Amino acid sequence: MHPRIQAYVEEVRGILGEGPEASELVARIQVAAKDLVSQPLDLGPELRRVPDEGYGRNLIYRDPDFGFVVIAMAWPPGIQGAPHDHGTWGVVAVAEGQVVLVNYEREDDGSNPAVVKLRPRDRVEGKVGDVGYVLPPEVDFHTVGNSNPDGFSLTIHTYGFDIQECNLLCPDTGQLKRVFPTYN
């Protein structure tokens, strides 16, 4: 593991070990993530893999004690993920290129869980060194994508647990589809 990633993991473990409430936890991990991507990271080709379509999810670390994961997300030019949730806190740090992170809030009352209406809550136009977050339940649905049509981007995501399933929102219908993300 890259020495700076190892130091970051140890810092996240320390923060989690202190047991702060979720908003403080995310704020502190954002500071650590910003430090992680403040200098170029050479993560090697195995953490920059991209499938034939879409973006790459490359597992860097899964914590055996606290359950959090650190993932390198590889974004080809112009690729944008669909609105989705995770059900756990997350921190997104831009390590290379530029991305856009849009957090949404629900417009509907949640009475029909199969159909969701969202409106943008905030938008982060991220360049190297910038950090965003998700924090359910208020800030869970979000999109991430490469906002550079001509260049590759790489983001480092830290999630409260290893996400085995999530809800993907079809923007045209507002219907949720259960998906099961995998690693490359």
List, for residues 47-61, the tens digit of each pLDDT value: 888 887 788 999 999
Q: What mean pLDDT do residues 82-109 have?
A: 88
Q: How many residues does the chain have?
A: 184
The answer, yes or no, to whether the previous bond of 137 is cis (omega within 30 of 0) is yes
> What whole-number percentage of the chain has pLDDT above 90?
46
Q: 91: closest CA among 153, 24, 152?
A: 24
Give the pLDDT confidence score for residue 113 in this predicted structure.
67
- What's the pLDDT band for 93 if we cut at 50, 70, 90? very high
In contact, 156 and 36? CB cutoff 8 Å: yes
pLDDT band at residue 21 using 50, 70 and 90 as cut-offs: very high
The whole-angstrom separation of Cα 51 and Cα 145 is: 15
Distance CA 132, CA 100 (A): 9
The mean pLDDT of the chain is 88
What spatial distance separates the first Cα and last Cα of the chain, rounded to whole Å?
A: 17
Architecture of the domain spanning 3-179? Sandwich (2.60)
The answer on pLDDT for 166 being more than 80 is yes
| Residue 112, pLDDT score | 75
For residues 85-114, give the mean pLDDT.
86
